Structure 1
Amino acid sequence: MEFVKGIKEKDVLEISDILTGEWFGKEVVLRGFVHTVRDMGEISFVVLRKYEGLVQCVTDSKVKGLEGKALKEGMTLEVKGIAATEDRAPNGFEVRLTDIRVLSEPAKDSTMPLPISKWKLNTSLETKLSLRPIALRNVRERAIFKIQEGLVRGFRDFMFQNHFTEVRTPKIVAGNAEGGANVFKLEYFGKKAFLAQSPQFYKQTMVGIYDRVFEAAPVFRAEKHNTTRHLNEYTSLDFEMGYIDGFEDIMDMEAAMLTYTFEFLKKEYAKELKLLDVKLPAADNIPAVRFDEAKQLVAEKYDRKIKNPYDLEPEEEILIGKYFKEEHDSDFVFVTHYPSKKRPFYAMDDPSDNKFTLSFDLLFKGMEVTTGGQRIHNYEEQVDKMVKRGMDPEEFTNYLMIFKHGMPPHGGLGIGLERLTMKLLDEQNVRETTLFPRDVSRLEP
């Protein structure tokens, strides 16, 4: 009988092991995908793709293990050779091979449908999405989602450092948190259910338990939009915090989180940032402007008539972003005090003017990436607002339970991860920064 005791040490190395410098001039063993092969006649350059990046290997006809097999893209190999510095190679070193073992091969007569070894995939977005499992093997495509990983890691690290508890909330729900009709309906064992538009009810519930909570998880919107900024499934970075003095505490927390996360990216993802030529913005001095003032400012500066007094149109968001970049050199701007008419029933109204709410959006380079604000925490006030909106409080018994038995002043926000990544990388379509997009026309791959 054998016993499993944990990870066994192997002789196989990673790129980071070799970059320590202690393996140069010594024999190393590596495993990876054949990313590309360049036949130079007497020698060939075989570039292996590993999770950390690319490794250049040099081989000739004397190398053991091939026995007449031609190396091709898509093979996986175990190679053995001598590591040596080489400034022109990826990561500054190469491996001069002495032995090759083929671990697996692609299907016979298969050809790579995309030139994944090229620096940039010069093909349409639709082609990339249809061939997503292959397109993602391109170095630049992979870098996008490593940076997105870094955004989530930075967010989580910051939350933990600031005494937030990570929670997991249901994605199959009985009620609709946002109060709109854009929900995906499900048949749930003979009952009516929905895919969650937001973790809002559960975030607020957990504030009554842990004071501060956060989650990074998918949300679902059944909106028939076909734009460069909308998805029907996206990842939301949510947090909710109790004992706030005002919604400004939420904005302060987000600004601090973004500052921390960008510093984290600079430290941990420098290679990917350089590869994609990303310039990280400053988030430690973000201007804040009232909704009505923002509309007036851009109307006057850019000679644009205000068409909708209750919401921001995409063009207005762009102009507000432009205004604050020109006037304050900021890529970010908080737009506060949105009209109550366009905010959910749980948004707290401004005591000085109940036509507006104590809420905000964060615009990043002219696009909304965050919605947040202070919530109603008083039971009678919440019921009263529901009734005024024609809602039946009896349908929200479980939600209202938390207020009936006491809640602190609280608020929170949700950040669209894919949009945040999109604007950070200056991409033009949110699908570029979504691993496997779900929109009105795409359900696969």
Structure 2
Amino acid sequence: MWKDRVLSSEVLRSEEGRRVKLAGWVHSIRDLGKVVFIILRDRDGMVQLVFSLNTSGRELVEQAKRLGKEYVVMVEGFVKHTEKAPGGAEVHVDRLQVVNEAEVPPHLEPDQRAKVDLDVRLDDRMLDLRRPENYAIFRINHVVLSAARRYLESEGFMEVHTPKLIATATEGGAALFPVAYFDKEAFLAQSPQLYKEQLSAVFERVYEIGPLFRAEESHTNRHLSEYVGIDVEAAFADEEDVMRVLEGMVAFVIREVTERCRKELELLRRELKPLSTPFVRLTYDEAIERLREVGIMIEWGHDLTTEAERALGRMFDGPFFIVDWPTHLKPFYIMPREDDPSRSYSFDLMYGWLE
């Protein structure tokens, strides 16, 4: 049934007159009487279907008129190139099969532009995810993680998976989610740090991509209770070696997203600038001095405020590292400098005002 199916993007690249079979969801319908235009959506994009008396026949045109949004259909027909069609090509249909009907609340139809409250969207998340903008975000997320894996493996790193139910905290207990573990108390992992350190003592270079949990009571867009982290650990390496891996990975990921997600970026109205390495290195002391020059006073030994991070972000056109942080601001596993134990072999990567 699905053996010869092609995706919408392949239709747009096909030669005139090629016979194709497609399957997907009815995204939108335009009924002009003798001709019905349908936008079909699949996992690769959208393509226009044409039902006309000449090509499809009266019975098929009437069947097309009865379709509803989000109906699942399979069609066959011939490719025709025309500048009037989205993407420059369309399919003139001579066979239609309704795989499944659908009833969709009007405010959740994927082609609608009306803003809907988050609670409503989450109640019908499957429908909400069918909006092209949400699909684009998931597609970009996939490419980011795929590119990160490729880069890290090219650098000799091996992927590992560490426990997500832990007995003790890694970076302080205040941000832990407690869970019942049979007759004991356990916690959701906030970091794979201690596991990575043990694994790097065996495999030298390891990385993990997986969920992490932090019970930080905050409603800003900078704090998530659950997120996907990319963690690396390397033996026989210092902080400069790790920064080179990190900046190389970020630059590679940006390049891959730019090349592989052009239509998604256009849909989201986002433009990614190519990055050159190495990124700027700025010491903690230099950061404080630059902030003082613009009237933001940070006492030595204190963490940077959001206002300070925003100000620093405006000073640089791309990502930059802040290095040599005060030791007491960092977790216990960060190594103090031999020449000045009050400072540590540590760094934060900043991109604009985001850490």
SS at 2:21 equivalent:
strand
Gaps of 5+ in 2: none
Alignment partners' CA distance in 1, 2:178 and 2:343: 31
Aligned partner of 2:314 among 289, 297, 322:
322
Distance, in Å, in 1 between the alignment partners of 2:63 and 2:234 is: 64
CA deviations on 1:359-382 (whole Å, 9 max, x unpaired) are 1111111111xxxxxxxxxxxxxx
The match for 2:228 is 235
Q: Provide the residue aligned with 1:219 in structure 2.
A: 212
- Paired residue for 2:107? 113
Aligned to 1:359, which of 331, 346, 353? 346
In 2, Cα distance between the equivalents of 1:307 and 1:132? 46
Aligned-residue CA RMSD in angstroms? 2.2
Q: Which residue of 2 aligns with 1:252?
A: 244
Paired residues of 2:160 and 2:206 also in contact (CA < 8 A)? yes
Q: CA deviation at 1:135?
A: 2.3
Within a 5 Å distance, the mapping from 1:43-82 to structure 2 comes to 43-60=35-52, 62-64=58-60, 67=63, 70-82=66-78
Which residue does the alignment assign to 1:38? 30
| CA 1:285–1:127: 2 relative to 1, 3 Å | farther
1:421-444 CA-to-partner distances (Å, cap 9, x unmatched) read: xxxxxxxxxxxxxxxxxxxxxxxx
Is the 8 Å Cα contact of residues 51 and 61 (structure 2) preserved in structure 1?
no
Q: Is the 8 A contact 2:109 2:127 kept in 1?
A: no
Q: Does 1:162 align with 2:155?
A: yes
1:161 positional shift: 0.7
Read off the aligned partner of 2:324 and give its amino acid letter: H
Please point out which of 84, 93, 96 is paired with 2:92: 96
1:84 to 80, 84, 88: 80
Q: Does the 8 Å contact 2:244/2:278 carry over to 1?
A: no
Matches within 5 A, 1:39-438: 39-60=31-52, 62-64=58-60, 67=63, 70-107=66-103, 110-118=104-112, 122-123=115-116, 128-129=121-122, 131-244=124-237, 246-281=238-273, 282-300=275-293, 302-306=294-298, 309-324=301-316, 330-368=317-355
8 A Cα contact 1:310 1:341, kept in partner: no
User: What secondary structure is seen at the aligned counterpart in 2 of 1:356?
Assistant: coil
Deviation at 1:348, TM superposition (A): 0.6
The TM-score with structure 2 as length reference comes to 0.92
Task: Find the aligned partners of 1:233 and 1:168 in 2 and give their Cα distance.
Answer: 17
How far does residue 304 in structure 1 lie from its aligned partner after superposition? 1.9
How far the C-alpha of 1:357 sits from its partner, in A, is: 1.4
The size of the alignment, in residue pairs, is 350
| Partner SS, residue 277 of structure 2 | coil
**What's the CA shift for 1:52?**
0.4
Structure 1's consecutive aligned runs of 4 or more residues displaced over 6 angstroms after TM superposition are none
Question: Which SS does the other structure have where 1:271 is aligned?
Answer: helix
Q: Which moves more between the two structures, 263-272 or 144-153?
A: 263-272
* 1:100-119 C-alpha deviation (Å, 9 max, x unpaired): 11100114xx433335214x
- Distance in structure 1 (CA, Å) of the matches to 2:287 and 2:121: 38
Q: Normalising by the residue count of structure 1, what TM-score does the alignment of the two structures yield? A: 0.74
Provide the secondary structure at the position in 1 that maps to 2:143: helix
Q: Are 2:20 and 1:28 aligned?
A: yes
- Distance, in Å, in 2 between the alignment partners of 1:37 and 1:140 is 19
Deviation at 1:211, TM superposition (A): 0.7
CA distance in structure 1 between the partners assigned to 2:144 and 2:114 by the alignment: 24
Residues 1:17 and 2:10 aligned together:
yes
Distance 1:293 1:68 in 2: 67
Give the SS at the match of 1:159.
helix
Residues 49 and 352 of structure 1, relative CA distance in 2, 3 Å threshold? same
State the shift of 1:159 in Å.
0.7
Q: 1:243 to 1:49 in 2, by over 3 A?
A: same
Counterpart CA distance in 2 for 1:294 and 1:117 is 47
Equivalent pair of 2:136/2:267 in contact (CA under 8 Å): yes
Letter in 1 for 2:304: L
Contact 1:65 1:99 in 2 (8 A): no
Q: In 1, are the aligned partners of 2:36 and 2:61 still within 8 Å (CA)?
A: no
Query: Which digits, 9 at most, give the CA deviation of each residue in 1:265-304, with x for residues without a partner?
Result: 233222223333332231424111111220221221x212
Residue pair 1:76, 1:105 contacting (<8 A) in 2 also: yes
Offset at residue 133 of structure 1 (A)? 2.5
Letter in 1 for 2:235: G
